[in-house]
Amino acid sequence: MTDSISLFNTAPNIAPLPQTAVVELFDPPMCCPTGLCGPELDQTLLDVSEMIQTLQAEGTAVERYQMTSHPHKFMNNNEVMRLVREQQMAALPITAVHGQVVKTGAYPSLEELHAFLKHA
């Protein structure tokens, strides 16, 4: 007797790994997801958007979260919640690399993020 082989199930049943962000930005409240709205553009937010595009073009996964639209992301990160409880809005923005908080109260530069990513 021979075992039958299915042509439709040739790969082992391995669940795909969840896609996790390497860089996470926990933003202060903004009028829209990027903050690039309204009558005047904030140069800092424009720089952050350009930095994110550069990192993504380099293959780095980047996610941005706002407390109002992604409360679970804040609540599920103990360090972020501790900082927000202690410092309130002054803690934001908070940047995490590989799940570790690397900067609070201001956005990092691209050079800082490259250094954080290199040492993570």
45-86: pLDDT as tens digits: 889 999 999 999 999 999 999 988 899 999 999 999 999 999
In this prediction, residue 29 carries a pLDDT of 82
CB atoms within 10 A of CB 91: 19
pLDDT band at 34 (very low <50, low <70, confident <90, very high): low
Helix/strand/coil (H, E, C) string of the chain? CCCCCCCCCCCCCCCCCCCCCCEEEEECCCCCCCCCCCCCCCHHHHHHHHHHHHHHHCCCCEEEEECCCCHHHHHCCHHHHHHHHHHHHHHCCEEEECCEEEEECCCCCHHHHHHHHHHC
pLDDT band at 16 (very low <50, low <70, confident <90, very high): very low
Q: Is the pLDDT of residue 106 over 80?
A: yes
Query: What's the pTM?
Result: 0.76
| Mean per-residue pLDDT over the chain, rounded | 82
CATH 3.40.30.10 for domain 33-119, yes or no, is yes
Q: Is the pLDDT of residue 7 over 70?
A: no
In this prediction, residue 43 carries a pLDDT of 84
In this prediction, residue 39 carries a pLDDT of 64
In this prediction, residue 9 carries a pLDDT of 46
